[in-house]
Each structure stands twice: as structure tokens, then as C-alpha cells.
């Protein structure tokens, strides 16, 4: 087969700051996916993109080409509107667990194609696989049937979704090109758009435990992904949230499931409840916005109900818990089975009296990883019961000798390395710290009118100001 382009010409075009044409982008993604472009050649192109970037037209076409490399799911036949949520990853981020059932309890379909953890950030599938019998692998037919019947599903993505992204993701990891906003945004959004949802809410983390540690790059990534989603007909909203401190009081698989169950039962840590409800509100509004684009009084009636819904009430009255139990049972899990517990624990205590003013998310995440809750390679096993339990959060008063953290593991020889990761992870002061917001910003595309929702292309934040370039 004679290739229509020379990959070296494509590399040189981008290296020298030129713009790639649509046919060039379509070809290079397809050719790399089928092996006609060598790893070292795509590595050179990725580095050129890392330095030169992609403009909006190039980025949208790059995302198109990655979507076109595989199958695209279609949930338009469901009787429910669909909305998905994606988090860029953090420590103690168990929000998907209560969030999907909560949103589904209002009659919305929530398809969550999730992944496993790598490094210090946990994976939703790892958490759910701590439930006896639960399975992550579902066929498309099983997913669709469960969404129609239950309203929520969390499962692994099939091999047919955006296969180009899987190859590019692995290559970026070994070529120093991970930290490129166009490449991150197209990687995330190609998979999310291919999943077939009509609306999407992004939880973009910012802080020491997040991939984006500074607000500026996090906001740029959020705005870029919102733009890609809207350009592809997926109503998209991004919520920027703080990840300097771990979410909730646990980091680890079964530990986080147990905490999510507390939230579904109407309790749980305040920050987990707050973020669950904030994201649920955005997801319900996103689903309503899609319905409002559909002609017909029934769609507008349902949209009105979604906009008036109170997520917190469905946590209090058990509606979300009912959907959780149905979701777990539908995937072979036993919602009443006891969760795994680690064989060994060790407390780390406060050295002085005062207020806890800082608890570093990254260091907590690394400690949980070293205890066995995470993996260094995708094929590594994880311990279901391993992790860290936090007995205080910033703002809490502590006394000398009080346990600050409890380490959980089946391998007690890992306590030493976990403790090393926690050196300097917290600060105790005589002054109570000022409270910091969990939600930093909300970024979306402001529609000019309901009849032409995409006329305005201004990215705005929650204060109504245009997001800076």
C-alpha cells in the first residue's frame, strides 16, 4: 500500500510551526494505529506538538481522528437522557461511587466507563472490584440494558473505543510529552465522546495531589476540553476543584467504598458530600440543557424537573442508595457482603497540640500506593484493604499523641516506606487556618439562546467573566 503522505513532512510542518491539514491529521492517526508510522516518528511528532501546540481546528480534527480509529457507542435509543462525568484524578477521589447512583435516581442515565489506578491516584474499577462478585467487563448490550433498567453503570472501556489513544497514551508516557494540554485534552475527550453520552461534566483537579498543580494550566485544560466537547455536539461543563488535601478521610480501595456507602446513607465526610452534590447539580443541569434543545413539551417538563431537583434530598431519603444496590447487583456484586479489611494497621500520631493546617494530598497518595492500594504498572495487583485512614483534616484541633493517620496493609514490611513518604506531609500550628474553597471555578460555554445554543463561543467562569487566554 502506498501511503498518501510522508510522515517526515508532517513532522517538519509541525516542528517549524506550521498548521497540519485535516487530511494529514486523519492519515497520521490512522497510519500510526495500524503500524504504518513508526514509534520513533510519532515520538518526534508528539514532541513537535508539545512545543508548537495545536490550534482549535487542528485539535478538534486530531480528536475526530482518534474517535474514528475505533467504535462509537450510541445511547440515543434510551428512554433517559444521558450524562457522563470524568475526573482528572486525585487522592481519595471516590466521588464516582455515590455520584452515578445519585444522578440516576432522578431518571437520568449515567454511563461511566472508568479505569484502574496507576501511581498515587486511585482507580474507580479497583475500588469497585473490592466488592465480592462485582465485575467490570460488560458488553455494550449489557451496558445499554443496565442503563435502561437501573440508570447507572460503571465498567471498563472496551478495546474498540479510541484505540489510537491507547497507543498514543503509552508513547507519551515514555517520551516526556505527557504534560501537553492539547494532547491531554484530546486523549480524555476522544474517549468520552466515543462513549456516546450527550452531555459531560468534567472534574478538573488542581493542587499537589493532581496532575495539574497550578490553577492556570488547570483552567486552560478545563476550557480546552469544554471547547472540544461543544465542538463535537456534547454539552460540556468543567468544575475546577482543589486537590491539595485528600478528599474525605480515606485513600484506598475498600476503605473508599466504605466511605462512599456512608455518603449514600446520608452521612459521610462534608467535603465528599459537598462535591458529590455540586457535581450532581451540574450533571442534572447538563442533562436538562440537552433536553431543552429537543423540541417538545415533555422534554421541557423533564428538564424543569431536573433543574429543580435537590441532590442532597436523594442522599437523605435513600433513593441514591437504592440505585447503588441495584447497580452493584446488576454487575454480579453482593451489596450486602462485608468489604475486605487489611491484616495489619499502624497509627501515626501527632507530635504536638494545635490545629492541623496542612495535609498534603500527594504524600498521602504515595503512602497509600506503597501500602499496596496502587500499582506502578498496569499489570500489577492491588490490595483491596490497603490504604490510609485520616483522623483529622485541615482546620481540626489535635492533641499530642492523638492518631493522625492509620496505615492499612496486608504486607507490614511496607509500613517503613509508607512512613517515609509521609515525612513532612502535615503541619500543626497554634492558629486555626482559614477555610479554603473546594470548588475553585465552573467553566462552560454560555449559549446565546435556547434556539441557537452554540452561537456564543465565550468561555466564561462562574463569576460571568471571560476566562483568560
> Which residues are identified as catalytic?
86, 165, 172, 187, 191
Q: Which three cell numbers, joined as nine digits, stand for 442?
A: 465552573
Which run of H or E residues covers position 77?
Answer: none
Closest listed residue to residue 237, CA positions, set 203, 212, 274, 268:
203
47-50 long-range contacts, CB within 8 A, separation 24+: 47/175, 47/176, 47/177, 48/11, 48/14, 48/15, 49/14, 49/177, 49/180, 49/182, 49/183, 50/176, 50/177, 50/179, 50/180, 50/183
Which run of H or E residues covers position 321?
Answer: helix 319-330
Residues 6+ apart with CB under 8 A from 310: none
Count Cβ atoms within 10 A of the Cβ of residue 186 and give its class: 0-12 exposed, 13-18 middle, 19 or more buried. buried
168-172 long-range contacts, CB within 8 A, separation 24+: 168/32, 168/42, 168/46, 168/66, 171/39, 171/42, 171/43, 171/46, 172/46
Q: Position of cell 510522508?
A: 6
DSSP string, 191-203: HHHHTT-SEEEEE
Amino acid at each position: 500500500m502506498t501511503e498518501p503522505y510522508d510522515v517526515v513532512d508532517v513532522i517538519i510542518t509541525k516542528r517549524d510551526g506550521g498548521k497540519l491539514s485535516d487530511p494529514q491529521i486523519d492519515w497520521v492517526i490512522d497510519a500510526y494505529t495500524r503500524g504504518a508510522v513508526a514509534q520513533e516518528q510519532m515520538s518526534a511528532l508528539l514532541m513537535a506538538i508539545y512545543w508548537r501546540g495545536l490550534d482549535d481546528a487542528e485539535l478538534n480534527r486530531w480528536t475526530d481522528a482518534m474517535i474514528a480509529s475505533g467504535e462509537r457507542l450510541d445511547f440515543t435509543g434510551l428512554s433517559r437522557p444521558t450524562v457522563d462525568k470524568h475526573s482528572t484524578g486525585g487522592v481519595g477521589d471516590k466521588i464516582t461511587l455515590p455520584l452515578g447512583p445519585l444522578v440516576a435516581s432522578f431518571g437520568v442515565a449515567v454511563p461511566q466507563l472508568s479505569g484502574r489506578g496507576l501511581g498515587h491516584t486511585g482507580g474507580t474499577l479497583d475500588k469497585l472490584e473490592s466488592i465480592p462478585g462485582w465485575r467490570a467487563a460488560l458488553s455494550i448490550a449489557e451496558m445499554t440494558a443496565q442503563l435502561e433498567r437501573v440508570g447507572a453503570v460503571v465498567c471498563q472501556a472496551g478495546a474498540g473505543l479510541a484505540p489510537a489513544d491507547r497507543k498514543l497514551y503509552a508513547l507519551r508516557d515514555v517520551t516526556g510529552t505527557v504534560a501537553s494540554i492539547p494532547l491531554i485534552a484530546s486523549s480524555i475527550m476522544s474517549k468520552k465522546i466515543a462513549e456516546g453520552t450527550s452531555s459531560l461534566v468534567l472534574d478538573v483537579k488542581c493542587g499537589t495531589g493532581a496532575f495539574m498543580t497550578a490553577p492556570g494550566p488547570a483552567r486552560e485544560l478545563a476550557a480546552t476540553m469544554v471547547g472540544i466537547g461543544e465542538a463535537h455536539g456534547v454539552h460540556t461543563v468543567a468544575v475546577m476543584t482543589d486537590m491539595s488535601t485528600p478528599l474525605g478521610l480515606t485513600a484506598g480501595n475498600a476503605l473508599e467504598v466504605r466511605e462512599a456507602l456512608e455518603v449514600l446513607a446520608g452521612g459521610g465526610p462534608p467535603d465528599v458530600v459537598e462535591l458529590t452534590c455540586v457535581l450532581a447539580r451540574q450533571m442534572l443541569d447538563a442533562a436538562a440543557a440537552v433536553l431543552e434543545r429537543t423540541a417538545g413539551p415533555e422534554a421541557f417538563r423533564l428538564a424543569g424537573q431536573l433543574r429543580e431537583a435537590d441532590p442532597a434530598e436523594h442522599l437523605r431519603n435513600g433513593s441514591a442508595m437504592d440505585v447503588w444496590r441495584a447497580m452493584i447487583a446488576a454487575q454480579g456484586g453482593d451489596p450486602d457482603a462485608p468489604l475486605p479489611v487489611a491484616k495489619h494497621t499502624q497509627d501515626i500520631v501527632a507530635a504536638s497540640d494545635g490545629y492541623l493546617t496542612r495535609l498534603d494530598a500527594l504524600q498521602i497518595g504515595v503512602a497509600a500506593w506503597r501500602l499496596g492500594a496502587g500499582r506502578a504498572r498496569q499489570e500489577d495487583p492491588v490490595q483491596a484493604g490497603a490504604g490510609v485512614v485520616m483522623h483529622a483534616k485541615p482546620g481540626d484541633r489535635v492533641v499530642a499523641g492523638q492518631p493522625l493517620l492509620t496505615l492499612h496493609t496486608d504486607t507490614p514490611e511496607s509500613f517503613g516506606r509508607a512512613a517515609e513518604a509521609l515525612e513532612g506531609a502535615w503541619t500543626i500550628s497554634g492558629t486555626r487556618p482559614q477555610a479554603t474553597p473546594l470548588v475553585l471555578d465552573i467553566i462552560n460555554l454560555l449559549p446565546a439562546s435556547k434556539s441557537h445554543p452554540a452561537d456564543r463561543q465565550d468561555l466564561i467562569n462562574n463569576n460571568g467573566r471571560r476566562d483568560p487566554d
